[in-house]
Structure 1
Amino acid sequence: MVTLRPMTGADLPAVMAIERATFPLDAWSEGMMRGELDDMPRTRHYVVALDEDEIVGYAGLAAASDQADVQTIAVLDKHQGRGIGSALLTELLAEARRRGAREMFLEVRADNPRAQAVYRRFEFEEIGTRRRYYDDGTDAIMMRRKLDG
């Protein structure tokens, strides 16, 4: 059973290890992640997923006005398939609603069908493509979900 809690600066070593393992070609820097945390709670909402005392995943949301964007979601490979990513996405959707967002957007790698399937299961729809969006030249599929009031 995992629990979710707000991410803190003290979580960054574990979060950055997951970041580099999950996104080896285009991982965020610690400075970028710290910058995101600096905007909490004003425009950002970041959470970590804990399995006992181990951070096994994290997710982040940017929200302004009536729009929210999934900034990142990652789960350690050995913990995938247990519903942790779904729990993290559910939390981001709930926070977007709490902040009054009417739509949520995200980009997902075109070569990551597993993540795309998760987002489709959560009623995200494909709305376009960003060519060569990622550092290695991979396209990003842009997705959107309308949120209930």
Structure 2
Amino acid sequence: MNISYRKATSADMDRCLDVRGMTRDNAFTREDLIAIGVPPGSWDEPIDQGVYVGYVALVEGEIIAFCYGDTETGEILVLAVMDGYESRGIGTALLTKTSSALFDYGHKELWLAASATPVVRAHGYYRAIGWHPTGKLDDNGDEILTLNARMK
């Protein structure tokens, strides 16, 4: 399988919304996203203006995974890999590319919110690749993890 990567554009968001609903863990359908205030088109302007930066992974020209970060806050907003494509290094490659872009914007530390529940794969995944728990929880009960520029 040939996997390619490229910088994401706002034109990718429609497919990214589909992919977000096809993940094995923590899937959000279009309807779920709309219900939490993320309707189609809501990310177009921040992407086009460079506030959100991200990368997509493609197989045979089709997006199968993506990652976006916020250039203003240093937050990794989302990392999603379609069911069936996990454990191939795709998520890590996308996260690395997006993190590097955010560090290039001058951030010394990045952050993300991930499940605080050890049985959820994301809990161990981010820790295994160098993200550090802060002990703080967001309003959804997810734990805030950080990555320092020197640790990457």
Does the pair score TM above 0.5? yes
Between 22-31 and 84-93, the greater mean CA deviation after superposition: 22-31
Q: Tell me which residue corresponds to 1:79.
A: 85
> Where do 4+ consecutive residues of structure 1 move more than 6 Å?
none
* d(CA) in 2 for partners of 1:76, 1:36: 24
Question: TM-score w.r.t. structure 1 length?
Answer: 0.81
- State whether structure 2 residue 71 is matched by structure 1 residue 69: no
Alpha-carbon RMSD across the aligned residues, in angstroms, is: 2.1
How far did residue 99 of structure 1 move?
1.5
**Count of residues in Structure 1 that have an aligned counterpart in Structure 2:** 139
Q: Deviations over 1:59-80 (max 9, x none)?
A: 101123xx51101110101111
Give the residue type in structure 2 aligned to 1:36: P
Question: TM-score w.r.t. structure 2 length?
Answer: 0.80
How far did residue 35 of structure 1 move?
3.8
Please give the secondary structure, in 1, of the residue aligned with 2:126.
helix
Q: Whose strand proportion is higher, 1 or 2?
A: 1
Q: Tell me which residue corresponds to 2:147.
A: 145
Gaps of 5+ in 2: none
Q: Tell me which residue corresponds to 1:24.
A: 28
Give the residue type in structure 1 aligned to 2:121: R
Q: Tell me which residue corresponds to 2:105.
A: 99
Gaps of 5+ in 1: 134-138
Q: Percent identity?
A: 24
Q: Tell me which residue corresponds to 2:11.
A: 10
